[in-house]
Every structure is written in C-alpha cells, then in structure tokens.
Structure 1
Amino acid sequence: MTLPDHGRYAYSPITRRADYSWPEGKRLAVYLGVNLEHFAFGEGRGAALAPATNEPDVLNYAWRDYGNRVGVWRMLALLDQLDLPATVLANSAMYDYAPDLMQAFLARGDEIAGHGVTNSEAQGEMTEPEERAMIAAATDRIAAAGMAPQGWLSPWISESRVTPDLLQEAGYAYTLNWCMDDQPVWMTTRAGRILSIPYPQELNDIPAIVARKDSAADFAGMIIDTFDEMLDQSNDQPLVMGIALHPYIVGQPYRLRHLRRALSHIAAARDRVWITRAGEISALCHGGLAGQIS
C-alpha cells in the first residue's frame, strides 16, 4: 500500500548520516525563537487564555497584547543579562504597531525572520496568489526596516501544498515549519531546495503551557532536561535545539522567573555549545556544510 506523500524529503535515520561539527568543534547548536505577534481586534485567530464567549474577545486580545507591552521588555532585559542572542519571529504588522520594540531587537543585532503579516490568519487557507502576496508583503516590510529575512515560520505553522515552493521562490533560505528532525534537512521545492531547521513543538510554550497546561516550573524543567540530554546525544551526532517563546506567555512574571533559571543553565554551558541564531545555522549549512546535510 502506498500512502500519499509530501515529496519534500526522503526518510533518513539520524544514526546513518554524515558527521560534522558546528563552529569551534561544538556539537549542539541552541537558538531561541522569540515570537512577536500582533492580532486583529474582534476577529481572526489567536491563542486563548480562556474560551471566548463573544467578539470582541477583550480578555484574550488584551492577554496577548501584554506580551508586546510588558512581557517582551522583561525578556529583552533577561537576554541582555545572560548575553543570549535571539531569532525574532515577527509578524510584519509589528513594525507599525510597536516600531520601538522591533528597533530594540535590531539594536541587539538579532535576526528577524518572517512570520507572516499577523497571527490572526492561517497561511494554509489562502489561495496560491493570496499566499504569494502575503509572503511578499511581510518580506518587504521586514526588509524595509533594514534586515531582509532569510527564514520563515508560518503563522500557526499553517502551510498550503505550495508553501515551501513559494518561500524558496521568494528568496528564503530556510523554513522552521517542519518539526520532524533534530538536524537541518534539505527539502525539495519545484525550483530548487530550501533548508528545514528544527523548530520545537515540545519546547514551545503554546502547546506546553496553553494546550497541555504544564506549569512554569514544568516548562523550565523540560528546557533543562532537553538541553542536558541533547548535549549528551550530540557526542554521536551534531544536533540543533530550538526553544520557542511567546512573550505573552513566558513574559508573565512567575513564568519569567522559571525561564530565567532554564536559560541561565544553558548560558552557563556556553563553552560547550554553540548558542546562536537560526540564520547563522542556515548560513553554515548553505556554505561549508552544504554537502554534509541530508
């Protein structure tokens, strides 16, 4: 029996791949994916603190907006304190809504990756012309602020049948949409290839805290345990560990306290791991490691 297949990559067990190392001979690459999202008021999608009873959904809209007004600024202070870089996954609407916030990340030298125009819409529900236009609009807005995005995470990780094709054709080097591996993987498109960099759905505060109702302490423990285990596993294969963070969730004070503990644990081991940005992983894979990536 032959099942329908996406045709984007072939099966490859992680135990049978070419060996390589990250810079300075390090074996584990770690990056932080900080999601900056803006939502339409009274319509569209959005993570929910509590079920909406009507629109406008003031409770959930304001809860999410706390992240942009307060939570993310606390996170910025934490990143500065620990000297940690970030890959910012930004809705392009953020440039109009909170331009000083976007400038704060640019001033740190952080990477800005594409994350659609707004998380009030799902990319996979668009027609191909609509999706192409949305990608172009988000890309142009980010580039106009001074940094052309090299990577993309779809809002809600929602893809159409042609999303990887459209991203590659728009000039994107990598996608974060596919969570099938702990190493970068080349994906096929109709006009070439695009790199898939691991983006977590376990070490992600939305499925962990909002969906599964894990506590702040549980989430911090997951980060620490994953880091320690992957550091051991990386003796056998080079690995990538991503941590997906949303300021309206982990920027809440009691959760930030636990996040501080987890990130401090990682920062204390910086001499053993490559703490980096997703774009730097991509650049290395497209460059000197291009022939080593499966």
Structure 2
Amino acid sequence: MTDRAGEVGGSVRDRIPYQPITRRPALKLPGGARVAVYTIVNVETWRPTLPMPRTVLPPPMGQPLLPDVPNWSWHEYGMRVGFWRFIEALGSRGLKATFAVNGSSCRVYEEACAAAREAGWEFMGHGYVQGPMHKVEDQRAAIADTIAAIRDFTGRAPRGWESPGLTETDETIDLLAEAGIEYVADWVLDDQPVPVNVRSGRMVAMPYPVEVNDVVISAVQLQGSDEILRRGRDTFDRLYQEGATTPRIMPISIHPYLTGVPHRIRYLEELYDYILGHEGVAWMTGEEILDWYLAETDRLGQDQAAR
C-alpha cells in the first residue's frame, strides 16, 4: 500500500491523524495562562566501551578508538559539575523539571538522581542505557527495566517516556502503552498535546523541542553559547502572542554536558528570568500538562455531549 505522499505503509502517519491547531476545541490553561513552559533535563548513561552517542572531538586521524576517553569524559563532566548548575538554576527560581533519565542512571548517578527526587522533579523514562531503540534486543524488557528502576528509586512508576535520541520502531509506542506509559515525547509535531493511536490503552504525544534543545543547538548546529537564550526568547514571544487565543506548550530540553558548562549556563538562567518576567505563564511538568490536557478534553467532551 502506498499513500498519496508516496510513502509505503503509512503506519507512522496513521498514529496521529492530521488536524490543524486552528481547528481544535478551545483548551484553557490554569489561571487563563497563555503558555505552559516545562523543562526536560536529560541524564544518560554512556558506556565507555561503546562508541559515544555524541562527540566533541573527532577521532585521531579519523579512526575511532575505544575506550573513547575524551568524549566520554566530556559527558561525565556534565554529571560531576554541570548537573548541579541545573539544580541551582531551577531551584533558586522555584522551578521544577521533568527528569528524562536512563533507568541505569538511578544506580550509576545515584546522587544526581537523589537530588532530582528531593527537588520534586518528575521522573520520565528515557530508556535503560543511552542508545537507539532500534538497537535494543528486547524493547519490552528494556522498557520494563527502566520503569522498575525509576519506581524502585522514587516509589512510583514514570508516566512519561522520551526514547534515547527520540528513536522508535513501529512497535515501540504500543509497547510503551502496554507497559502503562501515558505520554511520550518523541513525536515533535505540535504545540499542544495530541492523542496517539495505539493498539491498546491510551497515549498522548507531548510537545518536545528539536529547536530549543541544546543537542541541536550546541552539538549538531554548533551555535554560539547564547543561542539558547536568543532562540528560546524568540520562541516564547511567538507562543505567548499566539497563546492569547489558543494556549501553547513551550518545552526546553537541556543536557548537563552541554548547557551545564560555564560558558552556557548564564544564558539558560537569563532565558528563565525573561520568561518569569511575564504574566500568564504556567510553569508545569510533563505529567502536570498531561493531567491538564486529559481534564480539558474530558470537559470539552462533556460540553459537546450536553449540546
């Protein structure tokens, strides 16, 4: 089967039917806010014996060598130093994050995960170790292991999921729904939560950024240190303007080894301070946005039924 866009199959396209944001029922954020802002802090386990998920230095003479000490250490700096800058930047402003964490990191980086737990951050599943879902031998087991690690560490199972590198096979989202995951951050296609078709249960695609995201900004596009401020501020301004009529979600995705370094952290802090200077902003976590969205869709369904 080939659809009109020339794609074979169409299973990905069929997961979320196309619906313009301008033709949806009117959602209302708490307190009449225009924009809900949520921060995703990503903490990952990189294994020195394998090629690094990201690199800052090319291999000598173009030949990859393992263990890759400098690039592994680049990431490790984020966990030893950069992460704690996030704890201070968010905590001093009374903000909480959604903590996208590899299940294995609850053991490998126990002190950092404990700090996130004590700060009241929401824990989100992020795979068991950092690597694409396509390379996982048993996705069902890896999902179960991630959920169990987070539940054992925090006392409750995660409700949200962000796949490593936002990767999914055709069955990943079905396996997530069957495991009890309620929302996923891999489908970066909207400024509002939207329902996803799964073979059983219910799933919501949560807005997630590939633009206000330090992997893209700093590790892929190699932009200047202040780009997260410039891009984040411009993104917020537009969403805030549009949110006067249709509420929007603004996610900010950060990694300790990128934005947590000395020459970038100030620009994240300035972005937070800029947004905090506006009224009509709801600072939320992913699961808080999920609960709001489900309550709003239930309300709208009841309103429609009453007419």
TM-score range, shorter chain: over 0.9
2:216 corresponds in structure 1 to: 207
Query: What amino acid sits opposite 1:152 in the alignment?
Result: W
Output the CA distance in 2 between the equivalents of 1:147 and 1:104.
Answer: 16
Confirm or deny that 1:276 pairs with 2:278.
no
Output the CA distance in 2 between the equivalents of 1:149 and 1:178.
Answer: 18
Equivalent residue runs for 1:86-125 within 5 Å:
86-119=97-130, 121-125=131-135
- The equivalent position to 2:167 in structure 1, one of 158, 171, 179, is 158
Q: Which has the larger radius of gyration?
A: 2
> Normalised by the size of structure 2, how large is the TM-score?
0.91
* Aligned residues between the structures: 289
1:168 corresponds in structure 2 to: 177
1:13 corresponds in structure 2 to: 20
Query: What amino acid sits opposite 1:55 in the alignment?
Result: L
Output the CA distance in 2 between the equivalents of 1:139 and 1:30.
Answer: 25
Asked if structure 1 preserves the Cα contact closer than 8 Å seen for 2:132 and 2:167, the reply is yes
Output the CA distance in 1 between the equivalents of 2:58 and 2:298.
Answer: 46
CA deviation after TM superposition for structure 1 residue 174, in Å: 0.3
Query: What amino acid sits opposite 1:89 in the alignment?
Result: A
1:36 corresponds in structure 2 to: 43
1:126 corresponds in structure 2 to: 136
Q: Provide Cα deviations, 1:224-263, integer angstroms capped at 9, x if missing partner.
A: 1111111001112111110000010000011001111111
Output the CA distance in 2 between the equivalents of 1:152 and 1:51.
Answer: 31
DSSP-derived class of the 2:263 partner: helix
CA deviation after TM superposition for structure 1 residue 291, in Å: 5.9
2:272 corresponds in structure 1 to: 263
2:66 corresponds in structure 1 to: 55
1:141 corresponds in structure 2 to: 149
Q: Provide Cα deviations, 1:196-232, integer angstroms capped at 9, x if missing partner.
A: 0000000100011111111111221101111111100
2:232 corresponds in structure 1 to: 223
Query: Structure 1: where are the runs of 5+ without partners?
Result: none
Output the CA distance in 1 between the equivalents of 2:76 and 2:40.
Answer: 18
Asked if structure 1 preserves the Cα contact closer than 8 Å seen for 2:52 and 2:71, the reply is no
Output the CA distance in 2 between the equivalents of 1:195 and 1:189.
Answer: 10
Equivalent residue runs for 1:71-82 within 5 Å:
71-82=82-93
Query: RMSD value over aligned CA atoms?
Result: 1.5
Confirm or deny that 1:27 pairs with 2:34.
yes
Output the CA distance in 2 between the equivalents of 1:103 and 1:169.
Answer: 28
Report which stretch shifted further, 50-59 or 170-179: 50-59
Percentage identity across paired residues of the two chains: 33
Output the CA distance in 2 between the equivalents of 1:118 and 1:268.
Answer: 38
Asked if structure 1 preserves the Cα contact closer than 8 Å seen for 2:36 and 2:281, the reply is yes
Query: Structure 2: where are the runs of 5+ without partners?
Result: 302-307
DSSP-derived class of the 2:124 partner: strand
Asked if structure 2 preserves the Cα contact closer than 8 Å seen for 1:31 and 1:243, the reply is yes
Output the CA distance in 2 between the equivalents of 1:133 and 1:290.
Answer: 33
Asked if structure 2 preserves the Cα contact closer than 8 Å seen for 1:87 and 1:112, the reply is yes
CA deviation after TM superposition for structure 1 residue 81, in Å: 1.4
Query: What amino acid sits opposite 2:158 in the alignment?
Result: P
> Normalised by the size of structure 1, how large is the TM-score?
0.94
Output the CA distance in 2 between the equivalents of 1:289 and 1:216.
Answer: 40
Asked if structure 2 preserves the Cα contact closer than 8 Å seen for 1:33 and 1:89, the reply is yes
Asked if structure 2 preserves the Cα contact closer than 8 Å seen for 1:85 and 1:276, the reply is yes
Output the CA distance in 2 between the equivalents of 1:60 and 1:86.
Answer: 26
